[in-house]
Amino acid sequence: MSSLSNRLLLSLAALAAAVALPALAADELIRLTPEQLKRAGVATAALAEMKSGGAVRLPGQVVVPPGQVEVIAAPVPAMVAAVRVAYGETVKKGQVLARLQGAQLLELQREFAHARSQAGLAGESLRRDESLFADGIISQGRLSATRAAERQAATLLAETRQSLRLAGLAEPAEAGALAAAAEIRAPFDGVVLDAPVQPGQRVDGMTPLFKLGRISPLWLEIQATPAQAAGLAPGDAVSVPGCPPGGRITVVSPHVDAHDQSLRLRAELPYRVPCVRPNQYVQVDVRPQETSTSYAWRVPAGALTRHLSRTWVFVAMPEGFRAVAVQVLEEAAQSSRVAIPVAADARIAVKGIATIKGAWLGLGAGEQ
């Protein structure tokens, strides 16, 4: 039992030493003879030839900015007599969306007619008292009281008139019949984002009937991994395949989503794009600016090696190679976009990586 314990302790110590060795040797020069380099087929390439100028393709969704969305609600308790539009339809300003019927609509018209009559009487009283005051027949107090009554009647008329407009009702004629229904109209050109009501449904006051949105400009809500977003910044150009260019990233979220651990990027399409629709899922090409990718390069997949949960490249030095940790921004089968903290005139190994890595880890590969 004691012998087994000793062997186990020696194995653990050897493993710890082997793991710690690369961390200590990461900044040390990896020396290989010319014969070893030739036999292993080691080749290098200049980073300047691998400048990352390509776009990064990320998933996204087309959304309407919250400031361009408006909810249209029922002005009073009523029954939905008819619905003229459905979800996804484009509407014009003033277009009828629905028709409502209800007793309270008649009450609004009656109250407006009464307020209009009272405002007319108050106006006549004010004009009469102003004439009487000018002739010295009535006092200043009497005139002030008449003016206050006229202002109160005018305010009540304005209130009832606004209630009619909110209900979609026209002002009734002096002696005309009252309208039995109210029409709900679109307040602007846009698209129907939601239409939850159905004909025959009874609704209370302020029950949402429609949700309309202006579709110019639109936003793109883009998902990216933290590594992909590391090389992106506000101002980077974005485009949707098949659509004209012109979009720009406006916001890069400072925190990750708690559900899928992704970062959210927001871009704005500054004009109405007919090739995308609100809520549509699309692929978005993000082209980083030169200033945000000065250390980003697109290197062959064979130039990367992984060790201790990190990704490395081997940078050529006058007398060997040096292992440099990199950050993978985008990974594909043939090449990867990485951030390498070295000068632009550096060269990295692109072939014979196994031999260099073996020498780096002290596994004897460099002696083959």
Number of domains in the chain: 3
φ, ψ dihedrals at 32, nearest 5°: -135, 140
Question: Which of 22-36, 107-121, 168-182, 224-238 has the least mean pLDDT?
Answer: 22-36
Cα(30)–Cα(363) distance, integer angstroms: 13
Question: Which of 104-118, 168-182, 243-257, 298-312 has the least mean pLDDT?
Answer: 168-182
Mean predicted confidence (pLDDT) in 26-30 = 75
Q: For residue 45, tell me if it sits in a domain.
A: yes
Find the helix or strand (DSSP H, E) in which 110 lies: helix 103-134
Q: For residue 8, tell me if it sits in a domain.
A: no
Query: Same domain for 91 and 157?
Result: yes
Mean predicted confidence (pLDDT) in 28-56 = 85
Handedness of CA 159, 162, 168, 172 (dihedral sign): positive
186: containing domain: 68-213
More confident: 12 or 73:
73
pTM of the prediction?
0.58
Q: For residue 237, tell me if it sits in a domain.
A: yes
Query: Same domain for 237 and 120?
Result: no
Tokens 């309309």 found at:
212
User: 356, 349 in Cβ contact below 8 A?
Assistant: yes
Question: Which of 23-27, 52-56, 193-197, 295-299 has the least mean pLDDT?
Answer: 23-27
- pLDDT of 107-122, one tens digit each? 888 889 899 999 999 9
Q: What percentage of the chain has pLDDT greater than the value 90? A: 51
Query: Same domain for 183 and 165?
Result: yes
Q: For residue 299, tell me if it sits in a domain.
A: yes
pLDDT above 50: residue 337: yes
CATH number at residue 283: 2.40.30.170
pLDDT above 90: residue 270: no
Q: For residue 308, tell me if it sits in a domain.
A: yes
Q: What percentage of the chain has pLDDT greater than the value 70? A: 86
